[in-house]
Amino acid sequence: MEIFTSWTCWPEAEGPLAKALPPETVGVLREAVAFAGRRHGVQQRPTGRPYLEHLFEALEVAVIGAGTMDRDVLVAIVLHDVVEDTPCTESEVARRFGPRVAALVRWVTKQPGAVKADYLASLVKAPPQAVLVKLADRVSNVQQLQRMPWRFQRRYYLETVAYIMPLAGAHPWFAHWYADWRERWRRVERWPA
């Protein structure tokens, strides 16, 4: 199972991105990373690491792992949490990065007050490009699940198997990655609730 943690900042990502993507796509990604950096600020992941590292991991998953080249999908990956986790609005994303990026971000944004299981179940209706955003996001979140407390590990594992892995079926690279991941984590199924 490949782990994607090579990029923790823009200078580490820029060279590999420039080799894989057209220059205009790299330029828009640079803008999106700066935008996300301003919006997320000093926000941290549950592990205490800077939040932006998650965005770089998800981007690395999509480009280096899955070979995704769709500019709007990649920009949406970088911006996937700005509406959910910051004061940024969908219309602000649309103004800066276009309506398609904003729509992809909307699909992967859990609305305030929504039940997480309902939100995850609704992703079966999402367009394939929005599913790619969610799949890359979740790979970043689960690839080092061992860093989290065991109760969180169990809940997140079961949630990933129930809601995310079925989405991966239409995307061969992700289907293979998640199958390998599940095999490594299957022991969690035997843990007490």
Domain spans of the chain? 10-190
Question: Looking at 1-5, 46-50, 120-124, which range is the least confident one?
Answer: 46-50
Q: For the segment 151-166, what is each residue's pLDDT rounded down to a tens digit?
A: 889 999 999 999 999 9
Digit-coded pLDDT (tens) for 39-52:
999 999 888 889 99
Pick the CATH number of 10-190 from 3.20.20.120, 1.20.1250.20, 1.10.3210.10, 3.40.640.10: 1.10.3210.10
Token readout for 56 is 């770089």
Choosing from 85, 90, 92, 159, the catalytic residue is 85
Judge whether 118 counts as a catalytic residue.
Answer: no
Considering Cα of 88, then 111, then 145, then 135, what sign does the dihedral take?
negative
Is 60 catalytic? The answer is no
What is the reported pLDDT for 48?
Answer: 86
Q: Which of 12, 31, 84, 189 is catalytic?
A: 84
Q: What is the dihedral of CA 161, 167, 170, 176, to 10 degrees?
A: -30
